[in-house]
Chains A and B, each alone.
Chain A
Amino acid sequence: MNILIFIRMVADVVEELKIADDFKSLDIDWIRFRLSETDEHAVEQAILLKEKYGGMVTVIALDAPEVDDALYNALAKGADRAIKICGDWMNFRSPGIAKLFSNYIKDENLLVTQTLIMSGSQAIDDLEGELIYYMGENLNIPTCGIVTSVNYRSDFNLINVYKEFAGGLRGEFEINLPAIIGIQAAEKPPRYIPIAKIRAIMKTAKIEEIDIPDDHISAGKEVNRLLEPEVSGRATMLEGSPDEITAKLIEILSEKAII
């Protein structure tokens, strides 16, 4: 199997987010970037598939702050190739990113019979929706998102996937390759790679940097404004020392007849 994973960097929401002076984007000097959480799971699932069925795993990313760390991390986990598409893509949204990735796949003739394209099911800044569906449409291949399990049947060149619905319910689907799937969660938690191993891979492996032709691809339409959420139903905040706070908590739990 030939696995291509497309990954994106997103703002780390554990940190405070700041809106830029144009009120249309985030202040990138302020935010910390991390690999999109579902992309991290896509990398893990790809490595699990490689370990189970063999094949080649290529990780491809658009240039972004801290993307090299994510690519080296994928190599340390077991990816065979890491490719960075150079350029300024910060304002690109799903439809534009899908065009860039799809054109790259077509130009490099990467879509062969045994190709499985993977990405995270969804990113936290996907205002225009899931990348995989735009890519599936561009490449005219079957697409399935919110996947939590993948098995490959080489005799029929197809994959069996589990897709999540609600309340723990899942559906099993059969998809012929080539196909694109969006991973919601890998079958196992993403593996931890010690820093020493990542440092070692940085010395031996190389991120391939490529430029792609400017096909006048649109980044996407502008949003009119970003804003902090209104805090209409804001909680009553319990303040004071831990001693005072826990005393108030006990009072509340007691009033509500919980204790």
Chain B
Amino acid sequence: MSKGILVLADHTKEVITDVSYEMLGIGRKLADSMNQPLYSLIIGDGAEKFASGFGIADKVFVVADKKIEIAIPELIVQILKKIVTENDISLILVAGTNISSGVGPLLAAKLDYRFIHFCKNLIYENGELMATSQLFGGKIFSETVLNDCKGIFSILPGSFPAEAGKASRFPEIIDIPHPDDGLKIKFKAFIEPEAGDVDVTKESILVSVGRGIGSSDNISIADELVEIIGGAVCASRPIIDQGWLPLSRQIGKSGMIVKPKLYMALGISGAPEHIEGMKDAELIIAVNKDSAAPIFNVAQYGICADIDDIVPMLIDKLKERK
């Protein structure tokens, strides 16, 4: 039987991401029900100043070194492997973000643990651990039971309450020296996003287009709509990858996180990576031909129809009102 659960803190540019606290919250719950200690690991320059906010963990390992400018999976795994082995840890939670991507499979391969990706839920019951994952862009869920409760899990941001991972007490902090790594990958520099013509994070109305828009010509329908109701046009990843709109308009995991008053999703299926960027909008209205599209699970209002049957008519009616 294992002796602990470990949460790998996820942070970028000196900001701890919310999913770190989500993981600490579910980690604490699992640790209490499994009667095991909860550990956390924070790696990076300035890591020690984050540790005080991790009081929900019993012990926080800190690897702070100016040389660690950015966490490289290979480096994180070197450190994790040592801590996991020395403390007989059997359950590790990592964030399902681009920053922590790669840590899970690499550690799984090194430790011969099982890695379960895209986790939305973790339940400990009758001595077994069940992980629920979101696959196929959120259209199918899978349940995996681990009888030995041993594994590495990547947690999709927004799956658990972040508040449950915050505590006022001060944790025990253990400093760990920066390993003499011999890394095969060298970090050179950060490249800040180019300022776009529009800052989508500051718009109160966003009309967002996805693959269902069909072609680049059809984006004009969204342009026309924002001309009337205000705001800006943005998009999900496939539209940006096609070069139909600039990177500064991308909403989601790799793009911008937005919280507008209105988010109108046209032809967006609602893959978890996109939902992550817009789920906190005050009002979400989705138009999609597929009644099973996951976007309808986060939208307040949904329309199962062709964009061409709805949006031009909406534009005409809005024009008539003016």
Residues of A whose CB lies within 8 Å of any CB of B are 11, 13-14, 16-17, 19, 26, 37, 41, 94-95, 122, 124-130, 132-134, 136-138, 141-146, 160, 162-176, 179, 184-186, 188-189, 221, 223-238, 242-243, 245-247, 249-250, 252-253, 256, 258-259
- Complex Cα spacing A226 to B133, Å: 9
Is B106's CB within 8 Å of the partner chain A?
yes
Beta-carbon contact of A11 and B136 below 8 Å: yes
- Known pairs A14-B290, A172-B189 / 20 extra A-B pairs, C-beta < 8 Å: A14-B269, A17-B140, A128-B116, A133-B109, A142-B185, A146-B254, A166-B254, A174-B186, A221-B144, A223-B143, A224-B144, A226-B142, A229-B140, A231-B296, A233-B298, A234-B297, A237-B303, A238-B301, A242-B309, A250-B318
Known A-B contacts A166-B99, A229-B134, A250-B314; the reply to A13 vs B139 at CB < 8 A is: yes
Known A-B contacts A226-B141, A246-B314; the reply to A169 vs B299 at CB < 8 A is: no
A residues near B256, Cβ cutoff 8 Å: 167-168
Which candidate, B27-35, B82-90, B173-181, B239-247, is the interface stretch facing chain A?
B239-247
Known A-B contacts A128-B114, A171-B190; the reply to A256 vs B185 at CB < 8 A is: no
Beta-carbon contact of B255 and A26 below 8 Å: no
**Minimum distance in angstroms from B253 CB to a CB of chain A:** 7
Beta-carbon contact of A225 and B143 below 8 Å: yes
**Minimum distance in angstroms from B43 CB to a CB of chain A:** 15
Is B188's CB within 8 Å of the partner chain A?
yes
Q: How many residues of B contact A (CB 8 A)?
A: 94
Is B67's CB within 8 Å of the partner chain A?
no
Beta-carbon contact of B74 and A235 below 8 Å: no
Beta-carbon contact of B242 and A189 below 8 Å: yes
Beta-carbon contact of B243 and A172 below 8 Å: no
B residues near A252, Cβ cutoff 8 Å: 283, 285, 301
- Complex Cα spacing A258 to B144, Å: 44
Known A-B contacts A165-B98, A258-B229; the reply to A221 vs B114 at CB < 8 A is: yes
**Minimum distance in angstroms from B251 CB to a CB of chain A:** 11
A-B contact pairs, 23 of them (CB 8 A): A13-B136, A13-B269, A26-B140, A95-B109, A124-B137, A127-B116, A130-B105, A132-B102, A133-B102, A142-B185, A143-B102, A143-B106, A166-B253, A168-B250, A168-B255, A169-B191, A172-B189, A174-B186, A224-B143, A228-B141, A234-B297, A236-B301, A249-B314
Is B73's CB within 8 Å of the partner chain A?
yes
Known A-B contacts A168-B250, A224-B144; the reply to A246 vs B138 at CB < 8 A is: no
Q: Which residue of A lies closest to B99 (CB)?
A: A165
9 smallest CB-CB distances across A and B, nearest first, come from A168-B193, A235-B302, A129-B105, A142-B184, A133-B105, A137-B109, A235-B299, A172-B188, A170-B191
A residues near B104, Cβ cutoff 8 Å: 129
Beta-carbon contact of A142 and B74 below 8 Å: yes
Residues of B whose CB lies within 8 Å of any CB of A are 12-13, 70, 72-74, 97-99, 101-102, 104-106, 108-110, 114-118, 130, 133-145, 154, 184-194, 205, 211, 229, 237-238, 240-243, 247-248, 250, 253-257, 261-262, 269, 271, 282-286, 290, 292, 294, 296-305, 309-310, 313-314, 317-318, 321
**Minimum distance in angstroms from A1 CB to a CB of chain B:** 18
B residues near A243, Cβ cutoff 8 Å: 313
Q: Which residue of A lies closest to B130 (CB)?
A: A224
Known A-B contacts A221-B114, A235-B301; the reply to A167 vs B257 at CB < 8 A is: yes
Beta-carbon contact of A227 and B140 below 8 Å: yes
The winner among A13, A19, A252 for most chain B CB atoms within 10 A is A13
Known A-B contacts A14-B211, A167-B193, A171-B191; the reply to A237 vs B139 at CB < 8 A is: no
Known A-B contacts A11-B136, A223-B144, A256-B262; the reply to A145 vs B255 at CB < 8 A is: no
Beta-carbon contact of B97 and A166 below 8 Å: yes
Beta-carbon contact of B140 and A165 below 8 Å: no
- Complex Cα spacing A134 to B98, Å: 17
**Minimum distance in angstroms from B99 CB to a CB of chain A:** 6
**Minimum distance in angstroms from B100 CB to a CB of chain A:** 10
Beta-carbon contact of B286 and A235 below 8 Å: yes
Beta-carbon contact of A242 and B310 below 8 Å: yes
Partner of B118, one of A127, A168, A237: A127
Beta-carbon contact of A242 and B313 below 8 Å: yes
Beta-carbon contact of A234 and B296 below 8 Å: yes
B residues near A163, Cβ cutoff 8 Å: 98
**Minimum distance in angstroms from A12 CB to a CB of chain B:** 10
Beta-carbon contact of A235 and B296 below 8 Å: yes
Partner of B297, one of A227, A233, A250: A233
B residues near A137, Cβ cutoff 8 Å: 106, 109-110
Known A-B contacts A169-B12, A176-B184, A258-B283; the reply to A227 vs B117 at CB < 8 A is: no
Partner of A127, one of B135, B191, B241, B299: B135
A residues near B317, Cβ cutoff 8 Å: 246-247, 250
Beta-carbon contact of A94 and B105 below 8 Å: yes
Beta-carbon contact of A144 and B302 below 8 Å: no
